């Protein structure tokens, strides 16, 4: 029987679907309004709304994201990828290696930072080998999604489902999801997805221009000098034989040799020791050049590069500054401010003087490499105004990085063997990272995704409302009546189909919040194990290929790849069907 409370729950669900699809409000605020609505009508009590904050899996998700952010900042992952991909030259060689490596890493690490790390490598490789990034970015996202579905911790969606399973009350005493419950479908689908992209999907990938090489609006263009490092492998080579024309977002403008300026247009120019190379590029790319391993050194940085903590910042010379009319070397920025001037922006003008000889003017924007003492030394200065922080550099001893990575693997292993709960292992690892000063307790809040935590908690509350009012049971009966003619396998197909469609057009987390209680109720009504239905929901929500808005990694590559919605549907729909068929048949064979 349809009660007033059930009608209220359906109104909340329709509102969530409409708001997320039309982007009326953000996901967190949408769920907040829906749960507030149910709370005001006493469908949910305050205790039921807040219960999710005590869910262990919510804490696990936040800890994993925080640790992933710490690992990303150490640059160890970037160095590993650089070694792995350096020898790849052909399209198929790079594509296949990229997909297998990313899928492997994403099975144990959060896939969003992995895609963020890989995208610059994809763009650089494409520049060097004359390919469009649109031929690689969708496969990059898909590989991360496929790999993330292999283990419990591979994607936050799996952890959310595990948390909801732990909190459900429909089927008492149900077993919790373990680390490797996902491998039976996850590993076969990594191989099937890999073969699909390599044999079919690559033919459907568009050939689009690289939008990432364009400077974003509002960024400043700088000219920066880089000296050939002593003993550099570049010495004696022709420009055309090096990657100096393919550094990310940088253009080699000229070479200064002694007092002569040589235009760098000719690929036959041979590089000499102590040559100074002048590059043009925007803010972020100039900052990246500071820590490049390309055989170059930025001389202005000098000993500041040894600092354990530094940052690249932008400042502007004020109208009444005492620096006006002085050359850069006269100011002695290093001694006075614990900083070095990397480049000067003056309305896009190419300043031909050596950096130390540039005469400063009011309004000049300085890109600076600043040490730890910079902030305290400029507090009383009126010589310039702070504009922005471009990039942070944190140097961590190698043994600490390896301890962190090893500790993460140990925590995962102990959890898989049911020796130590993953939450406890990650908490120990986080404390260890603070003791070793790999991260600062003050920086930790910046690594936490509070919106994600709120969405998960409110999704749990929505699931409680659907269960409490029997709205989930009503929907479950509808699914059973539609798909039951096909038997239990038909019901699994129905659950997967509804989950993946919702995830494709709203968000995977929202679809889990809506479909999970329905799936549990379906299993209860059929008097069968709930695990295959729970796993079906997890796969249907996480393995999202059809739209750019369905999964965060799809959204990340959407703009840089210059893709359209049609591109994702054309390539992703067949893969979605393959995933659905494989999931249902394997789960049916194992559990029925």
* 482-519 residue pLDDT tens: 888 888 899 999 999 988 888 876 667 778 888 898 88
Say if residues 467 and 44 touch (Cβ distance below 8 Å): no
pLDDT value at residue 438: 79
92-96, 137-141, 394-398: which has the minimum mean pLDDT?
A: 394-398
C-alpha dist (Å) from residue 201 to 105, 145, 444: 22, 15, 40
Q: What percent of the chain has pLDDT over 70?
A: 88
- Let me know if residue 103 belongs to a domain: no
CA-CA distance, 148 to 182, in Å (whole number)? Answer: 10
pLDDT value at residue 506: 62
CATH number for the domain that contains residue 278: 3.30.70.1450
DSSP conformation class of 340 = E
pLDDT value at residue 216: 41
* 394-429 residue pLDDT tens: 666 777 878 888 888 888 788 877 788 888 988 999
Q: Are residues 370 and 317 in the same domain?
A: yes
Helices (H), 267-332: 283-289, 328-331
- Let me know if residue 556 belongs to a domain: no
* Mean pLDDT score, 260-270: 77
pLDDT value at residue 41: 94
CA-CA distance, 10 to 30, in Å (whole number)? Answer: 15
Q: What total of structural domains would you count in the chain?
A: 3
- Let me know if residue 539 belongs to a domain: no
Q: Are residues 404 and 385 in the same domain?
A: no
pLDDT value at residue 541: 92
Domain of residue 417, residue span = 399-447
* 61-92 residue pLDDT tens: 788 778 877 776 666 666 676 677 766 778 99
147-156, 174-183, 547-556: which has the minimum mean pLDDT?
A: 547-556
Say if residues 134 and 206 touch (Cβ distance below 8 Å): yes
φ, ψ at 215 (rounded to 5°): -70, 135
Q: Are residues 329 and 387 in the same domain?
A: yes
Q: Are residues 332 and 375 in the same domain?
A: yes
Sequence-separated (6 or more) residues with CB below 8 Å from residue 149:
155, 158, 182, 185, 186, 189, 538, 539, 542, 543
CA-CA distance, 284 to 286, in Å (whole number)? Answer: 5
Q: Are residues 248 and 269 in the same domain?
A: yes
Q: Are residues 315 and 377 in the same domain?
A: yes
Q: What angle do CA 585, 591, 592 make, to 5 degrees?
A: 80
* 26-44 residue pLDDT tens: 778 988 999 999 999 999 9
* 325-372 residue pLDDT tens: 998 888 888 888 888 888 888 876 767 667 788 888 888 888 888 887
Length of the chain: 592
Q: Are residues 388 and 410 in the same domain?
A: no
Q: Are residues 323 and 385 in the same domain?
A: yes
- Let me know if residue 271 belongs to a domain: yes
- Let me know if residue 463 belongs to a domain: no
Q: Are residues 323 and 373 in the same domain?
A: yes
Q: Are residues 286 and 266 in the same domain?
A: yes
Residue 384 tokens read as 């310039």
**Residue 475 reports pLDDT greater than 50:** yes
pLDDT value at residue 218: 47
pLDDT value at residue 215: 40
- Let me know if residue 258 belongs to a domain: yes
Candidates 348, 250, 334; CA nearest to 296 is 250
- Let me know if residue 496 belongs to a domain: no
Candidates 151, 170, 44, 43; CA nearest to 517 is 170
- Let me know if residue 584 belongs to a domain: no
370: part of which helix (H) or strand (E)? strand 365-370
pLDDT value at residue 532: 94
Q: Are residues 337 and 288 in the same domain?
A: no
Q: Are residues 313 and 369 in the same domain?
A: yes
Q: Is 544 exposed, middle or buried (0-12, 13-18, 19+ CB in 10 A)?
A: buried
């Amino acid at each position: 029987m349809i009660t007033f409370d059930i009608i209220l729950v359906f109104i909340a669900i329709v509102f969530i679907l409409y708001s997320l699809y039309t982007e009326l409000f953000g996901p967190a605020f949408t769920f907040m309004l829906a749960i507030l609505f149910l709370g005001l009508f006493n469908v949910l009590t305050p205790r039921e709304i807040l219960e999710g904050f005590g869910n262990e899996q919510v804490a696990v998700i936040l800890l994993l994201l925080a640790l992933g952010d710490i690992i990303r900042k150490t640059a160890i992952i970037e160095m590993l990828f650089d070694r792995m991909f350096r020898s790849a030259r052909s399209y198929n060689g790079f594509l296949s290696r990229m997909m297998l490596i990313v899928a492997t890493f994403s099975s144990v690490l959060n896939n969003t930072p992995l895609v963020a790390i890989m995208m610059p490598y994809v763009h650089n490789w494409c520049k060097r080998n004359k390919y469009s990034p649109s031929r690689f970015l969708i496969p990059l996202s898909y590989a991360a999604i496929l790999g993330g579905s292999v283990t419990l911790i591979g994607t936050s969606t799996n952890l959310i489902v595990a948390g909801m399973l732990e909190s459900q009350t429909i089927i008492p005493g149900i077993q919790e999801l373990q680390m490797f419950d996902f491998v039976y479908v996850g590993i076969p689908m990594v191989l099937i997805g890999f073969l699909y992209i390599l044999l079919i999907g690559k033919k459907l990938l568009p050939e689009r221009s690289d939008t990432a090489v364009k400077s974003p609006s509002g960024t400043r263009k700088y000219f920066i000098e880089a000296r050939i490092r002593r003993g550099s492998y570049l010495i004696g080579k022709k420009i055309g034989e090096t990657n100096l024309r393919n550094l990310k977002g940088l253009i080699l403008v000229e070479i200064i040799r002694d007092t002569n300026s040589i235009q760098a247009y000719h690929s036959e120019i041979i590089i000499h020791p102590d040559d100074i190379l002048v590059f043009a590029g925007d803010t972020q790319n100039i900052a990246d050049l500071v820590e490049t391993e390309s055989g170059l050194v930025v001389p202005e940085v000098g000993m500041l590069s040894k600092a354990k903590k530094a940052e690249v910042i932008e400042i502007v010379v004020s109208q009444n500054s005492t620096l006006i009319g002085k050359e850069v070397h006269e100011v002695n920025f290093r001694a006075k401010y614990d900083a070095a001037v990397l480049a000067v922006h003056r309305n896009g003008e190419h300043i031909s003087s050596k950096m130390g000889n540039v005469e400063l003017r009011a309004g000049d924007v300085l890109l600076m490499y600043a040490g730890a003492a910079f902030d305290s030394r400029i507090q009383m200065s009126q010589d310039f105004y702070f504009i922005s922080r471009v990039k942070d550099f944190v140097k961590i001893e190698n043994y600490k990085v390896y301890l962190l990575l090893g500790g993460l693997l140990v925590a995962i292993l102990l959890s898989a063997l049911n020796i130590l709960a993953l939450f406890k292992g990650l908490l120990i690892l986080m404390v260890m990272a603070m003791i070793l000063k790999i991260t600062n307790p003050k920086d930790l809040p910046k690594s936490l995704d509070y919106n994600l935590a709120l969405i998960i908690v409110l999704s749990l509350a929505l699931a409680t409302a659907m269960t409490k009012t029997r709205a989930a049971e009503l929907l479950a009966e509808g699914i059973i009546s539609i798909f039951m003619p096909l038997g239990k396998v038909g019901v699994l197909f129905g659950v997967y189909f509804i989950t993946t469609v919702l995830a494709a057009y709203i968000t995977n987390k929202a679809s889990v919040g809506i479909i999970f209680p329905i799936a549990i109720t379906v299993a209860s009504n059929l008097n069968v194990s709930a695990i295959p239905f729970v796993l079906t929901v997890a796969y249907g929500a996480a393995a999202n290929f059809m739209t750019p808005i369905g999964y965060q990694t799809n959204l990340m590559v959407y703009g840089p790849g210059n893709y359209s919605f049609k591109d994702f549907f054309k390539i992703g729909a067949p893969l979605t069907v393959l995933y659905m068929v494989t999931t249902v048949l394997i789960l049916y064979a194992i559990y029925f």
